[in-house]
Each structure stands twice: as structure tokens, then as C-alpha cells.
């Protein structure tokens, strides 16, 4: 697991880990493009990626993509918080009056399922934003997302063999060790 703030270098570090694995890499990109600024961000990520990696752009059905993998495969999920926000907004569009506890239960079940995918022998590198260090969001949905992301990061980090926090482009090991 690779955590960090916006533009911290977390994706680049995760890509370095994937490259060093010498395995076939499947890159799962979760960002939806709704404006020019996001299109520019996605373009930078696409250009930086190794040309021999398989890239799957999937905003919500990440678990289906991972279920196609098996022993010896390595997946790089970039990023878990974008995936969660996609799921949260999708849930809100389907049922806008769903209580926060029900949303949290549903989405955390999906995060738990994500942590279980490695039982099939595939390797998973998860990039995630550390968003809980800032101000408390003014809007209910922003607070729900911040809390959900924090709980998801805790679960993912607990189940991960290695966890890194990237700050200003510098990765700091907070659990485990650099994969061989």
C-alpha cells in the first residue's frame, strides 16, 4: 500500500514497485474524466506508465478486474480513494436518501473484498490518498467520504504486507519492507 497526499509522488513510487517486481503488470486506473484538468492529470499518468503494462480503466468494478487475475499476476490499483468516491457518488445517484451507516457498511464490504483478492495468489499494489490530515469538510458528503477513506485506508494497511507514506516525493516505510 502506498499512501500520500495530492501530488506527493505516491503513484510514481507504486509504479517503481511494480516495475521492480519483474511480473506482468495490470494497471487499474479508476479516475473518471469530467473536465480538462482531470484529463491533463490522466494524460500524465498514461504517458509515464510502462508501455508493456496492461491498463484497464475501471471506475467502479475493480473487484471484477481483480477476479480475472491469479497466481503470479501483479495489479496496481490507482487509486483506492478515487474508486471509493466513484462508488459513493454512484450510490448517492441511485439512492440519495440512504443513511450514512448503510453506505459505509456497503462500501467497507467492498474494501474487505478487495483485501481478499490476494488469496488467489495475485499481488496487489494499492495507491490511496491520505485525506484525513486536512480541515473538516463543510458538507455532509465530504465528511462521509473523508471518514470512509480513513477507515478504508486503515483496513487496507492492516492487511497489506508493506505500507509506505510518500511525502514530497520521499517514500517512508511505515510497515513491512520493499518487495524483492
Catalytic residues: 45
CA distance 49 to 12: 9
CA distance 102 to 134: 25
DSSP string, 18-56: HHHTTS-EEEEE-----SHHHHHHHHHHHHHS-TTSEEE
How would you classify the pairing of strands 163-167 and 170-175? Answer: antiparallel
Amino acid at each position: 500500500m502506498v499512501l500520500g497526499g495530492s501530488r506527493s509522488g505516491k503513484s510514481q513510487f507504486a509504479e517503481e514497485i511494480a516495475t521492480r517486481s519483474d511480473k506482468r503488470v495490470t494497471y487499474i486506473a479508476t479516475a473518471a474524466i469530467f473536465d480538462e484538468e482531470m484529463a491533463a492529470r490522466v494524460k500524465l499518468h498514461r504517458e509515464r506508465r510502462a508501455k508493456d503494462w496492461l491498463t484497464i480503466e475501471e471506475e467502479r468494478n475493480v473487484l471484477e478486474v481483480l477476479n480475472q487475475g491469479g497466481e503470479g499476476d501483479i495489479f496496481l490499483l490507482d487509486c483506492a480513494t478515487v474508486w471509493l468516491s466513484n462508488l459513493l457518488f454512484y450510490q448517492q445517484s441511485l439512492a440519495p436518501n440512504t443513511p450514512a451507516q448503510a453506505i459505509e457498511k456497503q462500501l467497507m464490504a467492498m474494501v474487505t473484498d478487495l483485501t481478499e483478492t490476494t488469496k488467489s495468489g495475485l499481488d496487489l499494489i494499492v495507491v490511496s490518498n491520505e485525506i484525513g490530515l486536512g480541515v473538516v469538510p463543510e458538507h455532509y458528503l465530504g465528511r462521509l467520504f473523508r471518514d470512509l477513506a480513513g477507515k478504508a485506508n486503515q483496513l487496507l494497511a492492516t492487511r497489506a504486507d508493506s505500507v509506505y507514506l510518500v511525502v514530497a516525493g520521499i517514500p517512508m516505510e511505515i510497515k513491512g519492507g520493499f518487495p524483492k
